[in-house]
């Protein structure tokens, strides 16, 4: 067994992909055209990008996911290794395709529209999940694509005393059971709506989600910041003002930075402030990972 696994503080399970990112002056109408101003190729994916964020902040991480040996898969593997994310338990199944996306970024706002294909590489199965080698890990970070394997990982983590953090992006079958096992749920605005049936108030969604999640709940609101709910108290954090070039991966970076705060023993407001600053800084560059800052840069930015 790899002895370096004893150093891992955060294990992530979920998506990794290759992103093709093209900037356009404005988003075209249906059956119209838009000329790309430029084209960029980077790796992305919610759980994997959160781990890259942590790695840049000096935290040892390991990624569990599923890819193939196609050109996309090789690029994903290369990108993780370059960022010093351990890939010992990244499952590579030959002969399939790995996940990729095309992302159209509007020049003026930095907002994006994502067109993605999950690939044909088989998902991790619950039987593929074994957290046994990570006896000294502090946190398990999950995204919400492979809910069956994520739920199994969460159960194992709870038995091992590992804190579980979930990136709630899109509600899927099995999501309700999964969030019942997490200690920190960081969800998008849209995640709560199918589950709660409530209106557009993030505060109302927070309280409703807290009925399903036994731990802390945070909802990210993009340029409007984030709101959290902890022990009956509401916490609000404004977004840091930056000139946004591309918002791709901002939520993923937020999750990684929030986890960094948890490892430092910070309270919810401190974690939210640090995560908000880190994700804002990322938005100054194109792609999910290029703009992820280092710790000293974040400290300087936050003053």
Query: Count of alpha carbons within 13 Å of 99, Cβ hemisphere only?
Result: 21
What lies within 8 Å, CB to CB, of 37 at 6+ separation is 22, 23, 24, 25, 107
Separation CA 125–CA 14 (nearest Å) = 12
**Pairing mode, if any, of strands 216-220 and 226-230?**
antiparallel
pLDDT at 198: 55
Q: CB–CB of 135/38 below 8 Å? A: no
Q: What number of residues does the chain have?
A: 303
Model-level pTM?
Answer: 0.95
User: Phi/psi class of residue 119: alpha, beta or left (left: φ > 0; alpha: ψ in -120 to 50)?
Assistant: left
Residue 18 has a pLDDT of 97
Neighbours of 296 (CB within 10 A): 8
Sequence ranges of the domains in the chain:
3-15+46-95+121-292
- Rounded Cα distance, 49 and 43, in Å: 8
Q: Which residues of 246-274 are buried (b: 16+ CB within 10 A; e: fewer)?
A: bbbbbbbbbbbbbbbbbbeeeebeebbbb
pLDDT of residue 3: 66
Question: Which phi and psi (to 5°) does residue 192 adopt?
Answer: -75, -25
Q: Are 73 and 129 in contact (CB under 8 A)?
A: no
Per-residue pLDDT of the chain (303 residues; tens, 9 = 90+): 466 899 999 999 999 999 999 999 999 999 999 999 999 999 999 999 999 999 999 999 999 999 999 999 999 999 999 999 999 999 999 999 999 999 999 998 888 999 999 999 999 999 999 999 999 999 999 998 899 999 999 999 999 999 999 999 888 888 889 999 999 999 998 887 776 665 568 888 888 888 889 999 999 999 999 999 998 899 999 999 999 999 999 999 999 999 999 999 999 999 999 999 999 999 999 999 999 999 999 999 998
Residue pLDDT, tens place only, 171-183 = 888 888 999 999 9
Q: Which CATH superfamily is domain 3-15+46-95+121-292 in?
A: Ribokinase (3.40.1190.20)
Distance CA 150, CA 170 (A): 14
């Amino acid at each position: 067994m790899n002895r370096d696994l004893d150093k891992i503080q955060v294990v992530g399970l979920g998506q990794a992909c290759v992103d093709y990112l093209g900037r356009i002056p404005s988003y075209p109408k249906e059956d119209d055209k838009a000329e790309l101003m430029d084209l960029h190729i980077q790796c992305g994916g919610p759980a994997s990008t959160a781990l890259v964020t942590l790695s840049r902040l000096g935290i040892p991480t390991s990624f569990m996911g599923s890819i193939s040996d196609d050109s996309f898969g090789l690029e994903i593997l290369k990108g993780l290794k370059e960022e010093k994310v351990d890939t010992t338990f990244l499952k590579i199944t030959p002969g399939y395709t790995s996940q990729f996306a095309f992302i159209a970024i509007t020049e003026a706002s930095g907002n994006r529209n994502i067109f993605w294909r999950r690939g044909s590489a088989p998902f991790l199965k619950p039987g593929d999940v074994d957290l046994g080698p990570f006896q000294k890990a502090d946190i398990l970070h999950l995204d919400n694509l492979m809910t069956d394997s994520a739920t199994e990982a969460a159960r194992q983590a709870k038995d091992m005393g590992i804190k579980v953090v979930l990136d709630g992006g899109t509600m899927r079958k099995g999501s309700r059971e999964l969030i019942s096992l997490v200690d920190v749920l960081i969800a998008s605005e849209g995640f709560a709506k199918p589950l709660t049936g409530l209106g557009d108030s993030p505060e109302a969604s927070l309280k409703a989600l807290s009925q399903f999640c036994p731990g802390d709940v945070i909802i990210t609101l993009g340029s409007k910041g984030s709101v959290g709910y902890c022990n009956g108290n509401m916490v609000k954090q404004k977004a840091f003002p930056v000139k946004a070039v591309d918002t791709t991966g901002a939520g993923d970076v937020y999750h990684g930075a929030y986890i960094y705060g948890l490892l430092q023993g910070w309270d919810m407001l401190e974690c939210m402030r640090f995560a908000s600053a880190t994700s804002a800084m990322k938005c100054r560059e194109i792609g999910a990972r290029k703009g992820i800052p280092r710790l000293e840069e974040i400290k300087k930015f936050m003053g």
